[in-house]
Structure 1
Amino acid sequence: MKKLKIVFLVLAIGGSISASLATSSKAPCSSLPQYYLASDGNYYPAGVEGYDFVCEWDHFSNCTYYYDEANQIFRPCKAGKILWLR
């Protein structure tokens, strides 16, 4: 019985360590520089959210994008329409 208890304890510790590593391995996209897709098809820096722009809710479009350096493409970050404040 004591061996079974030790096995479960080791499994619990290993599971908690792997879960903590899996949840913290990727930075959220909002912490990365944000870009917007212009009408000419190019991506440009969006600025600071809440100061330069806000994202208004929209179901079918993307407000901002971030640059995925591993694959060298822009990926959607926030859904909505971009509204310029300045």
Structure 2
Amino acid sequence: MEPFAGYGIIAILIIGGVAGWLAGLIVRGFGFGIIGNIIVGVIGAFIGSWLLAKLGIFVGSGWLGAIVGATIGAIVLLLIVGLFRRV
């Protein structure tokens, strides 16, 4: 299952930006700027897609499902990065 199947580059950037921004608010309490949010969100979409598929969880389809899945993956990504930054 690909996280951005059928989406254009603009949609990917918007979904990644929103997901990265939401994850930044949840994990650290602030965003990372537009470029940082997009990067975190896009990488998070791949992590979320893989993780949710392994757990057998379906978050929905369309834009909202993509944002939810990408946000979950971005949160996981930020938590993992936070573990390594503290060590």
Task: Report 1 or 2 for greater relative contact order, CA contacts < 8 Å, sequence distance ≥ 6.
Answer: 2
TM over 0.5: no
- Normalising by structure 2, we get a TM-score of 0.24
Q: Which has the higher strand share?
A: 1
| TM-score, length basis structure 1 | 0.24
Larger radius of gyration: 1
